[in-house]
Amino acid sequence: MEQIAEKAGTTKRMVVYHFKNKENLYLLALEYVYTQIRASEKALSLTDLPPVEALVHLVEATFDYHADHPDYIRIICMENMQRGRFMQQSSYLRQVNRSALELLEAILRRGKAKQLFNQTVDARDLHRLISSFSFHYVANSYTFTLLFEEGADEAAQREHYRKMAVQVALRYTCP
């Protein structure tokens, strides 16, 4: 709370007054980070792109978003360590995150209609695949790099794993 007050240029007392307690503040922060990633997905305007190209853009954007927003990863890790305790309290989070699956469902529907994608691919499973690859890159970057890639060029690593995320998603999705 002290750090938030300091960064906001106010007092801890004003932060507590506005949010009532740190649990409310945390839940609002959780809702905010999910709102931001979903807004970034919507801004991609993928509906006019061919299905494979749309999927590639979505995977790249998801990977980049995760890499560029490590605080998003941290708060998700914290919520998972608490077994979704605060997320359970928010119907807003369920509602705002529906768009992630709806976006993938639309891409998959168009790709399946053109026989570009496997008919059995499920939007939820594909979302998990894309998210897990992107999430792992950020959440485990320090330990993974220290154990297996010490001295590697960070920009080259990022580009390598970004391309790999696209390849994995396409291999999973395309016949």
Q: What is the pLDDT of residue 57?
A: 99
CB 21 within 8 A of CB 28: no
Instruction: Identify the burial level of 170 via C-beta atoms within 10 angstroms of its C-beta, where 0-12 means exposed, 13-18 middle and 19 or more buried.
Output: middle
Low-confidence ranges of the chain (pLDDT < 70): 1, 3-5, 7-8, 12, 15, 17
d(CA 114, CA 49): 13
Q: What is the pLDDT of residue 14?
A: 74
The domain that contains 49 carries what CATH number? Answer: 1.10.357.10
Q: What is the pLDDT of residue 24?
A: 85
Whole-Å CA distances, 122 to 68, 77, 111 = 27, 25, 12
Supply the range of the domain harboring residue 76.
2-173
Token readout for 78 is 């914290």
Specify the DSSP element, H or E, that contains 37: helix 22-42
Q: What is the pLDDT of residue 6?
A: 75
Nearest to 175 by CA among 122, 117, 92: 117
Q: What is the pLDDT of residue 1?
A: 62
d(CA 91, CA 136): 27
Q: How many domains does the chain have?
A: 1
Q: What is the pLDDT of residue 133?
A: 96
In this prediction the pTM is 0.90
SS (H, E, C) 130-166: HHHHHHHHHHCHHHHHHHHCCCCCHHHHHHHHHHHHH
CA atoms within 13 A on the CB side of 166: 15
Q: What is the pLDDT of residue 17?
A: 66
d(CA 115, CA 109): 10
